Structure 1
């Protein structure tokens, strides 16, 4: 049974590693996206404050 266990457990380890690597890359992408989104937020807020009566709301949407 030990060799069968190792044979059945091998692809499982590969799947886990693939999931972990994919999750890590996805987490890195999400973190980079959050950082990228945080940069223009103060600029958008400043423009919205400057033009309250303009069409900045439509642009924000």
Structure 2
């Protein structure tokens, strides 16, 4: 397993985007939620929705 350290700034941005996506999904704004998912992918972040929330990891 390879561990990658990311900056606190990037981690904060990731968490903010995930929260914004959750709000969009809660409001049934799936177009915005998809745009945010794509923005996360552009940052190299993969997300997975689970029953307990959204998990994320950096693409390898």
Task: State the TM-score, normalizing by the size of structure 1.
Answer: 0.34
Normalising by structure 2, report the TM-score: 0.35
Bigger radius of gyration: 1
Higher helix share: 1
More strand by share: 2
The structure with higher relative contact order (CA 8 Å, sep 6+) is 2
